[in-house]
Amino acid sequence: MDENLTVERSRVPLTKEDFVSDQMVKWCPGCGGHAILSSVANVFPKIGYKKENFCVVSGIGCSSRFPYYVNTYGFHGIHGRANAIATGVKIANPHLSVWIATGDGDSMAIGGNHFIHIIRRNVDLNILLFNNQIYGLTKGQYSPTTPMGSITKTSPQGTIEHPFNPGELVLGAQGTFFARVVDNNIKMMTDVMFEAARHDGTSVIEILENCVIFADKTHELITSKDLRDDHQLHLKNGEPMLFGKNKEKGIRLATAGLEIVKIGENGITENDILVHDQYSQDPGIHLMLAKMQPPAFPIALGVIRSAMFPTYDDMVEEQILNAKKSATIKSVDDLLNSGDTWEIK
Amino acid sequence: MTKKKNNVVEKDEVVVKFVGDSGDGMQLTGTLFSDAAAILGNDIATFPDYPAEIRAPHNTIAGVSGFQVHLGKIKIHTPGDLCDVLVAMNPASLKSNLKWAKPGANIIVDADVFEDKANEKAGYKSNPLTDGSLDNYNLIAAPITSMTKGALTELNVDPKTADKSKNMFALGIINFLFNRSLEQTFKFFEVKFKKKPVFINVNKTVLQAGYNYAETLEAIKTTFNVSAAKMEKGTYRNITGNLAVAWGLLAASERSGRPIFLGSYPITPATEILMELAKHKSLGAKVFQAEDEIAGICSAIGASFTGSLAVTTTSGPGLSLKSEAIGLAVITELPLVIVNVQRGGPSTGLPTKSEQSDLMQALFGRNGEAPVIVIAASTSVNCFYYAYEAAKLSMEHMTPVILLTEGCLGFGSELFKIPKVKDLPAINPPIAEANDKNFKPYRRNDKTLVRQWALPGTEGLRHRIGGLEKENIVGNVCTDPMNHQIMTDLRAEKVEKIADFIPNQELFGEKEGDLLVVGWGSTHGAIFSAVDELQKQGKKISQTHFNYIMPFPKNTDKIFKGFKKIIVCELNSGQLVNYLRMKFPQYQFTQYNKVQGLPFVVSELKEKFNQILKEK
Ligand SMILES: Cc1ncc(C[n+]2csc(CCOP(=O)(O)OP(=O)(O)O)c2C)c(N)n1
Ligand code: SF4
Ligand SMILES: [Mg+2]
């Protein structure tokens, strides 16, 4: 994919230190946020834009403290509104590389409306969705992504709500880029963030984040040492979808949907395994991948979808350019004197 | 037929009201008449009045749409109270508007449509044209529908088009009544229907037919003449308040060099501003129709962070939704213009009617100590200047500004003497320079207490701001008790200091007297007219009208001091008056209020003022 040429690049090579802020990071020790911060500090210098051209916007939540911890232009907003604020930042100045840090409460509950609409519009920016399946900052109430039945501070008998799967929401809103990562895989996080930066359009990265205090081990089924090989499918574009300790299992497209098969069993070879095409315009397979949940399926990690569609901000610039070319009204004086006017002498 | 002679009466001013069913084209008829009057040199003020429903049931009171124009050879201050001429195209519109006609007024109706069924639908028990109920008026019952059809027989137009051009027949009658030639209106047709020449011909024919009919009609014994007003030299146009707001903002953007960004969500009566700005991409306007009001203001705050003249436009219910975000702009000390075109409330209230009931919300409707500038336009034309001023104060003082206008100002129109952008006051936002070693997010100008605007993308100024309280000067997150006190005080003082940068409060009349009449917003014209008449009768009465409400102009107290009594007149239950009681406890304020979705009429004000002047 083409890099976003509207953002000016740095003339000097940058390092992680260029993006470390002087503020004390106040997340709990062991919080998934630390690894996410580290990945961002890794990837920003790699992306290569001038350091002044990064702008990090957030809402409210533990996750939304993020802007204070990276040394860029930063804006810490109000609860749920990060996506709306960032939309204004990007439209007003398309020469910025805009990053949003937001939580599952921030973007799935109070800010759900802005989340689906930013995606639908395909504004060119990057959303880091810290999904710890809990309200961290307010100390442990359930969120729209908390698994059904979970006991939390506001669900002493277990939640009775069907949780959102953010990936389904993104694709349902016609998302052009969706990736999923786990917070204990910095390498994958960094790679995925790099791809998100290169994608023209709204890139959503769902980060399965561990909140050690209020929802510890909520992603255990995915992240634990014993289970992760069987429960994680690492997607790579153009490669077959194999997983398991020895890559002995794979995903096959059957008439009824996706199914797990074993290489060598019933005559299955690698040729039967689905090959990942993240660039496909059609989101059909991407949606099936996004929906896979353990224990029945491995969870799909990496870039699930990265399709090219026109971006909102590009179209804004284009309309303005075209209007300027053909307009008879070129100044406010022209405007004031347009239409019916008359002279009194 | 011979031309009949009639009396011509010279008039200083007249009020004409066009009413009919929503589909009768009354807005167009009224606009054509008032535009022509303006071009002929009259001063004018207009007020359209239409139902909230797009297609209310045919021939019902709910479906009545109206357009009132006040024209004169003298300065016109309001769209007028009672009308001298009422054009009513159906029974329902006559029924609901007769109360607005002066005794003896000319009433022009389409006699063809006053048949039993329509009369009954309008609530008439008998035919008002024949039952004597209009005896105190000069009734001109013209068979408009049939005459229009007749006039068009040769042109071979379909019945629907014929029906639709009835309003031009009425306009022809009116033009005769005011001794106006049809030339100007013909010209309008030529422009308006350039792409559909058939309509030029149809409308011209019907207009002329109406005129000719009136000329031969016995019922018109007297015609009026309203000569040209003495207007200042210059180029003029007609402008509505909503258009004026949009253009004022565009002018501020051009003059300040800051690109304009509007984040907004449609809502009556503010939507025209959004639609107007959306047209002007050639002037660089970035207009974002958001998913709701919250996204509207939040996107504007994001744009403001990057250095745009950021605007959000709305009406009452939308302002409620924006409250939390206005606080964010307060604490981040970013410029932001919030335009609230007030309508009747609470909740959905009266969407198409005017009210002044959001003042308290504008002043105080936020959590925490969150002062913002509050200014209010008072005429459709000065919507342009106050929108410009809102943008200027907002950017120069790094603070949100709430500009209050009202539905009647937004929809109403007046003559606008077109200014030159270069003659408007300069706007100098405090933009931080690249690599300024001394830059700190909350370092302030000593005199104004204004912080600098450091735009993302600028070298050497990376910083973070947000909704959490920040350490004075440095800008780091800070919960220190004394720091919060300091920051709270600074934010308030910064806004108070703006009193040093706004004009003095003006007084109409003597500096001392028996009664001072205070108002704000759209009521200026009605109050002015009432006070002016009483002054001419020798009463010791003066008027002061507020456009700057937070902060008040510095001389406000001095003005109050000169009067024995002060009355505050508002289209709400008493919002400015209670704010004044809080700010100026040394004075006794009486109040006059009305919450009916209607403007003040001059007569009710005069009566009230006389009553107070009499009380000892
Ligand atoms: C308008 C508003 N409502 C509620 C809150 C309280 N609040 C702050 S953060 C939060 C939930 C945060 O959860 P999430 O977005 O998942 O972030 P996390 O702390 O888990 O990273 C809530 C309810 C608020 N700050 N503002
Ligand atoms: S409460 Fe949870 S989410 Fe918040 S900082 Fe602590 S571990 Fe992280
Ligand atoms: Mg959370």
Query: How is chain A split into domains, by residue range?
Result: 16-218+310-323
Of B39, B254, B263, the CB nearest to A332: B254
A270: Cα separation from own chain's centroid: 31
Whole-angstrom Cα Rg for chain A: 22
DSSP collapsed to 3 states, A169-182: HHHHCCCCEEEEEE
Of ligand 2's atoms, which has the minimum distance to the CA of residue A215? Answer: 2
Contact A91 B261 (CB under 8 A): yes
Does the Cβ of A212 fall within 6 Å of ligand 2? yes
Of B254, B302, B324, the CB nearest to A331: B254
Name the band, by pLDDT with cuts 50, 70 and 90, for residue A3: very low
Q: State residue B49's pLDDT score.
A: 83
- Judging contacts by C-beta atoms under 8 Å, the chain A residues touching residue B243 are none
Q: Same structural domain for residues B144 and B34?
A: yes
Contact A329 B283 (CB under 8 A): yes
DSSP collapsed to 3 states, B268-309: CCCHHHHHHHHCCHHHCCEEEECCCHHHHHHHHHHHHHCCCE
B506 part of a folded domain: no
Name the band, by pLDDT with cuts 50, 70 and 90, for residue A340: confident
Cα B267 to middle of ligand 1, angstroms: 29
Cα of A51 to nearest chain B Cα, Å: 8
Q: Same structural domain for residues B339 and B194?
A: no
Cα of B470 to nearest chain A Cα, Å: 11
Best CA proximity match to B21, nearest among B83, B131, B116, B95: B95
Cα A250 to middle of ligand 3, angstroms: 32
B497 part of a folded domain: no
Q: How far is A73 from A157, CA to CA, in rounded Å?
A: 44
Are residues A67 and B464 in contact, defined by beta-carbon separation less than 8 angstroms? yes
Does the Cβ of A199 fall within 6 Å of ligand 1? no
Best CA proximity match to B499, nearest among B427, B450, B582, B555: B555
Cα of A197 to nearest chain B Cα, Å: 17
Does the Cβ of A128 fall within 6 Å of ligand 1? no
Contact B299 A85 (CB under 8 A): yes
pLDDT for residue A1 is more than 90: no
| Domain boundary, last residue among B225, B246, B268 | B225
B80 part of a folded domain: yes
Cα A292 to middle of ligand 1, angstroms: 28
Does the Cβ of A210 fall within 6 Å of ligand 1? no
Cα A103 to middle of ligand 1, angstroms: 8
Q: State residue A5's pLDDT score.
A: 53
Are residues B568 and B590 in contact, defined by beta-carbon separation less than 8 angstroms? yes
The SS3 of residue B10 is strand
- Judging contacts by C-beta atoms under 8 Å, the chain A residues touching residue B324 are 78
E strands of B3-116, at which residues?
A: 7-10, 13-21, 43-49, 64-72, 83-88, 101-110
Q: How far is B555 from A190, CA to CA, in rounded Å?
A: 62
The SS3 of residue A261 is strand
Mutate to test the pocket of ligand 2, among A63, A213, A219 (most ligand atoms within 8 A of CB): A213
- Judging contacts by C-beta atoms under 8 Å, the chain A residues touching residue B259 are 92
Are residues B427 and B256 in contact, defined by beta-carbon separation less than 8 angstroms? yes
Q: How far is B23 from B32, CA to CA, in rounded Å?
A: 16
Of B250, B310, B327, the CB nearest to A332: B250
Name the band, by pLDDT with cuts 50, 70 and 90, for residue A48: very high
B220 part of a folded domain: yes
B493 part of a folded domain: no
Contact B467 A76 (CB under 8 A): yes
- Judging contacts by C-beta atoms under 8 Å, the chain B residues touching residue A111 are none
Mutate to test the pocket of ligand 1, among A68, A135, A141, A218 (most ligand atoms within 8 A of CB): A135
Q: By CA distance, what is A88's nearest residue in B?
A: B299
| Domain boundary, last residue among B369, B392, B423 | B423
- Judging contacts by C-beta atoms under 8 Å, the chain B residues touching residue A333 are 420-421
Mutate to test the pocket of ligand 1, among A36, A106, A114 (most ligand atoms within 8 A of CB): A106
The SS3 of residue A272 is helix
Domain enclosing residue B61, as ranges: 7-225
Phi, psi of B87 (to 5 degrees): -105, 115
Domain A16-218+310-323 has CATH 3.40.50.970: yes
Mutate to test the pocket of ligand 2, among A60, A214, A218 (most ligand atoms within 8 A of CB): A214
| Domain boundary, last residue among B423, B453, B484 | B423
Contact B38 A73 (CB under 8 A): no
Q: State residue B323's pLDDT score.
A: 98
Q: Same structural domain for residues B205 and B268?
A: no
Q: Same structural domain for residues B194 and B306?
A: no
B454 part of a folded domain: no
Are residues B91 and B115 in contact, defined by beta-carbon separation less than 8 angstroms? no
Q: Same structural domain for residues B339 and B381?
A: yes
Contact B456 A89 (CB under 8 A): yes
Residue identified by tokens 């456009």 is B547
Based on the structure, what is the number of domains in chain B?
A: 3
Q: State residue B4's pLDDT score.
A: 53
Q: State residue B1's pLDDT score.
A: 40
Of B39, B291, B455, the CB nearest to A117: B291
Q: Same structural domain for residues B221 and B267?
A: no
Name the band, by pLDDT with cuts 50, 70 and 90, for residue A59: very high
Contact B467 A77 (CB under 8 A): yes
DSSP collapsed to 3 states, B224-240: EECCCCCCCCEEEEEEE
Q: How far is B22 from B58, CA to CA, in rounded Å?
A: 8
Q: State residue B5's pLDDT score.
A: 57
Q: Same structural domain for residues B100 and B124?
A: yes
Cα of B152 to nearest chain A Cα, Å: 29
**Alpha-helical runs (H) found in B351-499:** 359-364, 382-397, 407-411, 481-496
A242: Cα separation from own chain's centroid: 24
pLDDT < 50: residue spans in chain B:
1-2
Contact A68 B477 (CB under 8 A): yes
Q: By CA distance, what is A52's nearest residue in B?
A: B457
- What is the average per-residue pLDDT within A34-52? 97
Q: Same structural domain for residues B269 and B392?
A: yes
Contact A88 B300 (CB under 8 A): yes
Q: What is the CATH number of the domain that holds B23?
A: 3.40.920.10
Q: State residue A2's pLDDT score.
A: 41
Q: Same structural domain for residues B216 and B312?
A: no
Q: How far is B244 from B410, CA to CA, in rounded Å?
A: 8
Cα of A148 to nearest chain B Cα, Å: 30
Q: Same structural domain for residues B210 and B254?
A: no
Q: What is the CATH number of the domain that holds B360?
A: 3.40.50.970
B51 part of a folded domain: yes
Best CA proximity match to A205, nearest among A183, A225, A220: A183
Q: State residue A6's pLDDT score.
A: 79
Q: State residue B353's pLDDT score.
A: 92
Are residues A58 and A66 in contact, defined by beta-carbon separation less than 8 angstroms? yes
Cα B331 to middle of ligand 1, angstroms: 19
Q: State residue B220's pLDDT score.
A: 84
B480 part of a folded domain: no
Q: State residue B2's pLDDT score.
A: 42
- Cross-strand partners of B590: B567
Contact A332 B463 (CB under 8 A): no
Q: Same structural domain for residues B259 and B218?
A: no
